[in-house]
Amino acid sequence: MRIQDLFQKPLHRSINGVVKADQNDRETVYQELDEYVVTNELETHFRAFFESYATPLSDPSIANRVGVWVSGFFGSGKSHFLKALSYLLANIEAEDEAGNHRRAAEFFDEHKLHDPMIRADVTKAVQQPADVILFNIDSKASSNDGGNPILNVFLRVFNEYQGFSGDHPHIAHMCRVPCD
């Protein structure tokens, strides 16, 4: 038996060394979902996220827990974790080379997420549609982002997502009817 026969996937396939928010071609999305490994540590992070995500907005405790901050050392998997969450929340459809389609949540079965409660939280979360805006903050930053640069970048990306100019939010980017 040869060593390469021990592996499920071909050893010489293309593997991205760095996860990029804007890399969302069919092959990359499928591979990232299919090959994402949920460690015990990641499972605790998924649990914490989906417990917060499932908290109704009417719950008084939510006021102090609206945002999520992901931090870690360089190379610790922050971007990959966020991208996996974005795929799950949007429950995107991924397609393999053979043309088979699977929703993101289908990749996170008992082999990937061992805790049935987290899987139930994922299933519940994907039942409601969610708009997901995933971006690399460095690529969206501008030299004009004085004052509060992080907030300015978020506002720019949100306005672009809504179809408005990112740099001039008062100017609509798209017109559905001829503009006079």
- Looking at residue 173, what is its pLDDT? 45
* Residue 122 DSSP SS3: helix
Q: What totals of helices (H) and strands (E) does the chain contain, helices first?
A: 7, 2
With cut-offs at 50, 70 and 90, classify the pLDDT of residue 175: very low
- Looking at residue 163, what is its pLDDT? 84
Place of tokens 């992080």: 150
pLDDT, one tens digit per residue, over 106-123 is 999 999 999 999 999 999
Give 82 or 146, the one with higher predicted confidence: 82
109 C-beta neighbours (distance < 10 Å), count: 11
With cut-offs at 50, 70 and 90, classify the pLDDT of residue 51: confident
CA distances from 54 to 66, 120, 131 (A): 12, 11, 16
pTM value is 0.80
CA angle 16, 13, 2 (to 5 degrees): 130
Q: Where are the chain's structural domains?
A: 3-134, 136-180
| Mean predicted confidence (pLDDT) in 117-142 | 88
CA distances from 31 to 12, 13, 16, 36, 110 (A): 14, 11, 10, 8, 18
- Looking at residue 112, what is its pLDDT? 93
- The answer for 61, left when phi > 0, alpha when psi is -120 to 50, beta otherwise, is alpha
Lowest mean pLDDT: which of 61-70, 76-85, 157-166? 61-70
